[in-house]
């Protein structure tokens, strides 16, 4: 049968909007209070905090990767401009 799952969090982002109170790329998400409370009472907070920390790590690793790519691009542009290419 595998593992049964239940959503604890819904996280989404705005992809398009025609109203001023949202902006494209804005993140929305919330732990429904009753589900969060039930989860913590049943299982504790440790696994939840660990996984949130992992998600934070994933975001920062991606930022570092992107910044490295941007730095590589800037280095390449600078090298090309210095060599006349």
Average pLDDT, the chain: 85
- The domain in which residue 70 lies consists of 45-85
**Of 9-13, 20-24, 45-49, 78-82, which range is least confident?**
78-82
For residue 7, what is the DSSP state? -
* Residue 16 CB partners (closer than 8 Å, separation 6+): 24
Give the per-residue pLDDT at 84.
54
Give the per-residue pLDDT at 9.
84
Mean pLDDT of 36-56: 94
Same domain assignment for residues 82 and 50: yes
- pLDDT at residue 79 greater than cutoff 60: no
**d(C-alpha 37, C-alpha 62), whole Å:** 31
For 14, other C-beta atoms within 10 Å of its C-beta total 13
Q: How many domains does the chain have?
A: 2
Mean pLDDT of 28-42: 91
Same domain assignment for residues 28 and 10: yes
Same domain assignment for residues 49 and 27: no
Please give the helix or strand (H or E) that residue 13 lies within, else none: strand 10-13
Same domain assignment for residues 40 and 52: no
């Amino acid at each position: 049968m595998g593992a049964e799952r239940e959503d604890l969090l819904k996280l989404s982002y705005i992809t398009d909007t025609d109203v001023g109170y949202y902006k494209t790329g804005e993140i929305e998400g919330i732990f429904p209070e009753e589900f969060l409370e039930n989860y913590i009472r049943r299982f504790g907070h440790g696994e939840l905090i660990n996984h949130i920390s992992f998600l934070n790590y994933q975001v920062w690793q991606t930022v570092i990767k992107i910044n490295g790519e941007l730095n590589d691009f800037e280095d390449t542009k600078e090298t090309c401009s210095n060599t006349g290419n």
